[in-house]
Amino acid sequence: AQRVTQPEKLLSVFKGAPVELKCNYSYSGSPELFWYVQYSRQRLQLLLRHISRESIKGFTADLNKGETSFHLKKPFAQEEDSAMYYCALSGIQGAQKLVFGQGTRLTINP
């Protein structure tokens, strides 16, 4: 079964501090992992995906298959990073089933 765990419901850091949002997954095959973000009064949107290995808005995430993790990191948080972040997993070959974690609400304090 596919499962995504985000252990922190809420995370609060000060502006300029490093941020790490944790994500662990359970899947027996080769997973495809994503981070989606929802800013206040905006629709859910893709932040980044592991296959592209991009850095978006200063965020990066590395897939660690040994630890089954896909943590999201940013070295210096900005106030506009305040949002709801969802880690998501797609693993079934040929299907598009996306399973979301419970989400982490990130608040950046000035």
Partner 1 sequence: DTEVTQTPKHLVMGMTNKKSLKCEQHMGHRAMYWYKQKAKKPPELMFVYSYEKLSINESVPSRFSPECPNSSLLNLHLHALQPEDSALYLCASSHAGTGYEQYFGPGTRLTVT
Q: Which of 11, 19, 99, 106 binds partner 1 (CB under 8 A)?
A: 99
- Binding track, positions 49-88, relative to partner 1; x by CB under 8 A: x-x----------------------------------x--
User: Could you tell me which residues are beta bridge partners of residue 25?
Assistant: 4
Size of the site for partner 1 (CB under 8 A): 23
User: Quick one: which of 38, 40, 8, 1 has its CA closest to 23?
Assistant: 8
Does 101 help bind partner 1 (rule: CB under 8 A)? yes
User: Quick one: which of 88, 107, 106, 73 has its CA closest to 5?
Assistant: 88
